[in-house]
Amino acid sequence: MYSITKLIGFLLFIFPFTLNAQFDLEWSSSSTESYNTLGWIDFKKSGDIWETRLVKIDYSSFTIMTSEYSNTAQYSYNFSDAERDAGYLIYSLGADLTGDGIVEFYVLAHYGSVDNPRQTMKIVDVTTGTTLFERDDASYYYTYSVVWDADNDGMLELSFAKYDYPSMEKYVYEVYSTGVAASLNSEPIHKLSFKLEQNFPNPFNPATTIQFNLTKSANVKIDIFNVEGKLVKQIVNNYRKTGSHKVLWNGTNNKGVRVSSGTYFYRITDDNNVQTKKMLLLK
């Protein structure tokens, strides 16, 4: 007598069963200029679930659409001249600091010379345009900010570094209490399968380290571009496992020639996501 396993195997041999994926177009964005950025973020919380929205960054503004599959703008943040000079560096904080169930964002701005700009940082509520927190002191260069429970007291803290400006020789970390319970925002609320860190040191000469963290293994590329959008060098193009990774850029192009001083952009991509940050090479 056949066992059940053998019987199933016999039936599958006689009546082969295949399961084919069905690729039906679900949605398409509107046509977007190549120098603009489209992506998705977790934007609004409903119960324990974060609602995903499509976002767009262009030369003038950061726009949040009405849903994950929508080309209709609901909220926009208009960049100042100094924020445009910084390269439209606006990012999700991954936390709701105002109690409205909507994530907050931080924006970086550059002042002073192109070769050695002074960076400022502010946190904004994009739904109202209100500035919640800002650091802008002519004696300091401020890094991007991070929200987390730094001392495990159950409350979220805001932390960042500030460098002596213009020397950039010393820095200190500052940590601020937000008054928001960590239990409300215990997980980073974005769907990127990676996080691209700010290169260090920045500004730099002759080399800088770029760190990225993968939440899942993926084929990863990291490309470096000049301010004209031309590819300078590809420093990563391979499969990387889950975890933290560091790569060094020594300031050379794909031909091994050292590039000139100035502003450069480094971009990480995997199969589904793109993230770009800015760095400054000084000589």
pLDDT digits (tens, 9 = 90+) for 22-59: 889 999 999 988 667 888 888 998 877 889 999 998 88
Query: pLDDT for 136-149, tens place per residue?
Result: 999 998 887 878 88
pLDDT given at position 271: 63
Domains and CATH numbers, the chain: 37-185 (2.40.128), 194-281 (2.60.40.4070)
Residues of the chain where predicted confidence (pLDDT) is lower than 70:
1-19, 34-35, 115, 184-194, 271-272, 283
Query: Are 63 and 73 a contacting pair, CB within 8 Å?
Result: yes
Q: Calculate the alpha carbon distances from 82 to 86, 88, 122, 143, 263 in Å.
A: 6, 9, 12, 15, 15
Instruction: List the one residue out of 105, 97, 95, 98 whose CA is nearest residue 50.
Output: 95
pLDDT given at position 130: 96
pLDDT given at position 138: 96
pLDDT given at position 21: 74
Tokens linked to 49: 């679930």
Looking at the DSSP assignment, which residues form a beta bridge with residue 239?
219
pLDDT given at position 7: 52
* DSSP character at residue 8: H
Tell me the C-alpha distance between 19 and 141, whole Å: 57
Tell me the C-alpha distance between 218 and 224, whole Å: 19
pLDDT given at position 16: 55
Query: Are 143 and 130 a contacting pair, CB within 8 Å?
Result: no
Burial class (CB in 10 A: 0-12, 13-18, 19+), 99: exposed
SS3 239: strand
pLDDT given at position 79: 94
Cα 112 from chain centroid?
25
Instruction: List the one residue out of 76, 132, 79 whose CA is nearest residue 108.
Output: 79
